Amino acid sequence: MILIWATGELKDDRFLQLLHPLTGHRHSDVRRITYSALRKIESPKSREYLQRGLYDTNAQTRQYCAKALAKIGNTNSLKMLRQLKSKKQFEKDYVLRAYEEAIDILEKSKN
């Protein structure tokens, strides 16, 4: 897991081919650290993976994905975040705040 973390610290998109498959790993901690690394790399190539991560079973993973999409998201990301925010009775407060922040940033970048 330290190696996964290190790829994010290096912020080199050459690691994406190794990281993207790990987003489907069976252990939530591996997925969480992988999404954290993708967030730090900030590559639009990871957008679809990050959008999928919004539906992960781990709340912290969902938070990381929302924060990453605030930087590299598109109109589809914005739509997904709005839908997820509307289901707020099922979500943790810190994840909802990440959704709201990402929505605000993406809406401002559209204008």
Q: Where are the domains of the chain?
A: 2-110
Q: Write the CATH number of the domain with boundaries 2-110.
A: 1.25.10.10
Measured CA to CA, the distance from residue 30 to residue 53 in angstroms comes to: 13
User: How many Cβ atoms sit within 10 Å of the Cβ of residue 31?
Assistant: 22
For residue 111, what pLDDT is reported? 63
How far, in whole angstroms, is CA 46 from its chain's centroid? 9
pTM: 0.93
User: How many Cβ atoms sit within 10 Å of the Cβ of residue 110?
Assistant: 9
22-36 tens-digit pLDDT:
999 999 999 999 999
Contacts of 59 (CB under 8 A, 6+ apart): 91, 92, 94, 95
